[in-house]
Structure 1
Amino acid sequence: MILEAGEWQLEIDPVHGGMIRALRRAGADVLRPSPEGSAVPFESACFPLAPYANRIAMGSFDWQGESYGLAPNHPEQKHPLHGTVWLADWRVEESSANRVTLVTEHPANADWPWAFTCRQTFDLSAEGLAASLAVTSTDTRPQPVGLGFHPWFAREKVTAVAFTAQGLWLADEEMLPSATAPADALGDWSEGAPLERADLVDHCYTGWSGTLRIAREDGDILLESDNGDYLHLFVPPGRDFFCAEPQTTMPDAVNREAPAPLLPGESAMLDMVIRSA
């Protein structure tokens, strides 16, 4: 499914994982495009994170007096990762020339013991993409819900990224949060910094301002979120992509900074805008 508006083109997979397959501006990749025919989320341009973002340590956590255990959901990962909806089947609920809403329903099961409905809406305009992600509880019990988007930005044409935050959770060798640090512990991103570096960056910034500027040779791009207080930055050395992920919670949030209970019938939401600066 392809939407077009002005210089922008968005390709969506309306079935597999609710994934974005490509996002381009004036023919240039803003997000890393999916390989032709691939339905693998980790090869996508972007996928949704819900009902939790990043990892839950060993899948074990306590919630409102009960203990829960989730099995790993990805090969070679001992910790369940990124929730359930990125591995789910989706369907088109509404569509028009420049707007699409996808939906998937999750029954309470061993992957997540609470029921919910998840929706994604994509609006494409001449300015860029406005996306939203919402989880509505269809369970009878409160549940801990965290949301995120996982965009894979193309590194070609990118000269620097810039953002501000209040702090940082450093990850250990298993990519779990291990210690807090000042926001500039890995370098000062506030004035813009290049992505070329020898070390792996895979850490979560707290108190994110909600804006990240991507300096590009063909014109800057802004990543924005009004309600994503956390920004997970993934910059692998020598690769052709980087990830800047707006999230409502930190990794392993249920064991560290648990979200407020989502009550039956209530919704949690996250927005993400990718547009020309």
Structure 2
Amino acid sequence: MSHDNATQTELVVLRAGELQLVLAPGIGGSIAAFTRRWREGRNARELHWLRPATATGLANANPLDMGSFPLLPFCNRIRHGRAEFEGRNIRVPPNHPAQDAPHPLHGVAWLLPWQVESAEAAQALLTFAFEADTAWPWRFSARQQFVLQERVLKVTMSVTNEDRAAMPLGIGHHPYFPHHPGTRLASPCEAMWTADEEVMPLRLERSPAVDALNRGVELATLDLDNNFTGWQRSARIEWPADVHGPARALTLEAEPPLDYFVLYCPRGYDYFCAEPVSQCTDWLNLLPQYGRGPLGGARLAPGETLTARFTLRPEWA
């Protein structure tokens, strides 16, 4: 396995038991597919735990068409890409690959290639290095370690401040899950940031969506793109038996600092996003008004490393 910069077309395949993970390092260090492959009699079956990358998405190197991608050094949006942190100005240009959106999102690492540091049968390490520029005026490095076992995928992310000044940091991942008829989600939390038409936060409240997520809800009844606080760092997805496979479930579990949760569930779509993140939308600009509790985010001193872990645990009979 080459340790050079990954090309956009290079894929890394991990296998453990019936599970298979496909990584696209050159497309923002993304996960391209996470599947179960098994046999029923003479028939080979395949079931997707994440929305699989399309051939077009791979050809166009579009992370928005992948199964999941890393969020760093910030998650979600920064209003007009402008913020200030300890004397340094952040000026992130619009970066949405498909829309003329004024508020850049998801950081910088999802739009640049990652390196394959190592790859074995069931685990891989991807690395990323960023030189400071006007968009993000701090030098940093990052790692993603993927470990696949027969019934679980373990992901460990870390970011190190390689700069001479303290750096603000948000970290997370952006998984897309299949939304088939009857899909249910339970993700206990305490409050939701309501948002305007540009998906920017307005106020924190205990909305009906919070109660629905606490007790478990059929996703077809929701139409959301919101941040949630007081997340218990666990989300359970249940799919009924259908043409795709038998009744099944997946539990997403996270560790601190992934204390916040984003649910993107547009009505009528065949996928939804359930994202473990360490900070809410536009946290740097909202901190003076709301404080760190409702917003999250970290301050990384020079040389300091922040590590975040989450697991995807599929279940089937």
Range class of TM-score, shorter chain: over 0.9
Q: Is the 1:18–1:90 Cα contact (8 Å) retained in structure 2?
A: yes
Q: Who is 1:128 aligned against?
A: 152
Aligned CA distance change for structure 1 residues 230 and 46 (closer, same or farther; 3 Å): same
Check if 1:17 corresponds to 2:28.
yes
CA distance in 2, matches of 1:185, 1:25: 31
Superposition map of 1:1-277 within 5 A: 1-26=12-37, 27-36=46-55, 37-38=58-59, 39-74=61-96, 75-156=99-180, 159-182=183-206, 184-185=208-209, 187-197=211-221, 200-217=223-240, 218-227=247-256, 228-257=258-287, 259-277=297-315
Q: Is the 1:149–1:272 Cα contact (8 Å) retained in structure 2?
A: no
Q: Is the 2:166–2:299 Cα contact (8 Å) retained in structure 1?
A: yes
Offset of 1:185 from its aligned partner?
4.4
Q: Is the 2:69–2:175 Cα contact (8 Å) retained in structure 1?
A: yes
Offset of 1:29 from its aligned partner?
0.6
CA distance in 1, matches of 2:298, 2:72: 15
80-89 or 212-221: which moved more? 212-221
Give the secondary-structure state (helix, strand or coil) at the position aligned to 1:22. strand
Aligned CA distance change for structure 1 residues 125 and 267 (closer, same or farther; 3 Å): same
Q: Is the 1:105–1:116 Cα contact (8 Å) retained in structure 2?
A: yes
Deviation per CA, 1:184-220: give whole Å up to 9, x if none: 44652122100113x6300001010011010122221
Q: Is the 1:117–1:136 Cα contact (8 Å) retained in structure 2?
A: yes
Offset of 1:14 from its aligned partner?
2.0
Offset of 1:67 from its aligned partner?
3.7
CA distance in 2, matches of 1:265, 1:183: 40
Aligned CA distance change for structure 1 residues 268 and 183 (closer, same or farther; 3 Å): farther
CA distance in 1, matches of 2:286, 2:36: 39
Offset of 1:110 from its aligned partner?
2.0
Identity of aligned residues (%): 36
CA distance in 2, matches of 1:162, 1:179: 23
Which one has the bigger helix percentage? Answer: 2
CA distance in 1, matches of 2:132, 2:67: 28
What value does the CA root-mean-square deviation take over the aligned residues? Answer: 1.6
Give the secondary-structure state (helix, strand or coil) at the position aligned to 2:80. helix
Deviation per CA, 1:203-260: give whole Å up to 9, x if none: 0010100110101222211011012100000001111100000000111111124633
Give the secondary-structure state (helix, strand or coil) at the position aligned to 1:256. helix
Give the secondary-structure state (helix, strand or coil) at the position aligned to 1:188. helix
Offset of 1:262 from its aligned partner?
0.3
250-259 or 172-181: which moved more? 250-259
Give the secondary-structure state (helix, strand or coil) at the position aligned to 2:93. coil
Q: Is the 2:191–2:210 Cα contact (8 Å) retained in structure 1?
A: no
CA distance in 2, matches of 1:81, 1:269: 21
Aligned CA distance change for structure 1 residues 98 and 236 (closer, same or farther; 3 Å): same
Provide the TM-score with structure 2 as the length reference.
0.83
Deviation per CA, 1:68-117: give whole Å up to 9, x if none: 32221224111111000000111111221111010110000122110000
Q: Greater Rg, structure 1 or structure 2?
A: 2
Q: Is the 2:172–2:277 Cα contact (8 Å) retained in structure 1?
A: yes
How many equivalent pairs are there? Answer: 276
Q: Is the 1:166–1:183 Cα contact (8 Å) retained in structure 2?
A: no
Q: Which amino acid aligns with 1:82?
A: H
CA distance in 2, matches of 1:81, 1:118: 18
Offset of 1:159 from its aligned partner?
2.5
Aligned CA distance change for structure 1 residues 157 and 220 (closer, same or farther; 3 Å): farther
CA distance in 1, matches of 2:285, 2:248: 41
Q: Which amino acid aligns with 1:224?
A: E
